C-alpha cells in the first residue's frame, strides 16, 4: 500500500491506496461480519419464540405432561399397550361401553337409545312436505307440454323431484305402499321419456297418470 497526503490551508488529509488483494480481504471480512450479525438476530428470534412456547406450555394442565418417573406410554392400533396414549389418537372402541358402528367411528350402532329415530314425526312430516311440493311441480307440467317446452318438463323432473324418490322410499313401508310407489315411479319415467322424444300426447297422458299414481300412494300413508 502507498500512503499519500493532501494539504490545504486548514487541514491535512491522509489516505492509503489499497491493493486489489487487500480489497478482497476487506470484502470477505465485511461479509463475515454481516453473516454473524444476521445469525445473532436469528438466534435472538429463536430465543424469543422459545420463551413464548415455554410460557404457553406452563399454562397446560399438569395432567397433559408425563409424570416424573412415569414409563413411556405407547399403543399398537389400540390392541396392545396403552390406548389412551397421545401417540394413538384413536382407541378403536376400546374406550367405549358399547360396540361402535365401525372400528374407525366414534358412534355406536343405531338402537332404541339413538338420538335419530326414523319414525319420528318430524322426519315423516318433512317427507310428506316433499310429496306435496312434488304434486305442485307435476301440476305445472301440462302447460309446458302444451307449449312444447320439453326442456322445462325434463328440467322440472331434475330441479326438485330428485328428492321425491327418496321421500317415497322413506315412507313406503308396507307391501301395498311399495307397489304404489313403483307405479308412481314408472309413470314419472314415462313423462321424462315422452318429453325427450317430444311426443306431446303421450307426455300429457303420462303427466295425468303420474298425478293419479302420486295421489294413490299418498292415500296409503
Distance CA(32)–CA(160), nearest Å, equals 72
Q: Hey, which bits of the chain come out as E strands? A: 2-7, 12-17, 75-76, 80-81
Number of Cβ within 10 Å of residue 127's Cβ equals: 17
Q: Please, which pLDDT band fits residue 12 given cuts at 50, 70 and 90? A: very low
pTM: 0.52
Number of Cβ within 10 Å of residue 220's Cβ equals: 15
What would the pLDDT profile of 32-91 be if each residue is shown by its tens digit? 555 555 445 555 656 655 655 554 544 444 444 566 767 776 666 655 666 565 555 555
Q: Please, which pLDDT band fits residue 115 given cuts at 50, 70 and 90? A: confident
Amino acid at each position: 500500500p502507498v500512503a499519500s497526503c493532501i494539504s490545504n490551508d486548514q487541514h491535512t488529509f491522509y489516505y492509503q491506496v489499497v491493493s486489489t488483494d487487500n480489497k478482497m480481504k476487506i470484502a470477505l471480512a465485511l461479509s463475515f461480519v454481516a453473516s454473524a450479525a444476521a445469525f445473532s438476530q436469528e438466534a435472538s428470534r429463536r430465543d424469543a419464540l422459545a420463551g413464548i412456547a415455554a410460557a404457553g406450555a406452563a399454562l397446560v394442565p399438569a395432567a397433559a405432561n408425563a409424570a416424573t418417573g412415569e414409563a413411556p406410554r405407547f399403543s399398537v392400533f389400540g390392541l396392545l399397550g396403552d390406548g389412551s396414549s397421545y401417540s394413538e389418537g384413536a382407541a378403536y372402541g376400546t374406550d367405549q361401553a358399547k360396540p361402535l358402528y365401525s372400528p374407525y367411528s366414534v358412534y355406536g350402532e343405531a338402537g332404541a337409545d339413538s338420538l335419530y329415530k326414523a319414525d319420528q314425526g318430524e322426519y315423516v312430516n318433512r317427507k310428506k312436505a316433499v310429496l306435496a311440493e312434488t304434486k305442485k311441480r307435476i301440476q305445472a307440467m301440462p302447460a309446458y307440454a302444451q307449449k312444447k317446452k320439453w326442456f322445462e318438463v325434463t328440467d322440472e323432473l331434475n330441479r326438485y323431484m330428485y328428492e321425491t324418490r327418496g321421500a317415497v322410499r322413506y315412507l313406503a313401508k308396507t307391501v301395498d305402499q311399495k307397489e304404489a310407489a313403483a307405479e308412481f315411479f314408472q309413470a314419472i319415467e314415462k313423462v321424462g321419456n315422452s318429453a325427450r322424444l317430444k311426443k306431446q300426447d303421450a307426455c300429457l297422458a303420462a303427466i295425468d297418470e303420474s298425478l293419479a299414481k302420486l295421489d294413490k300412494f299418498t292415500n296409503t300413508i
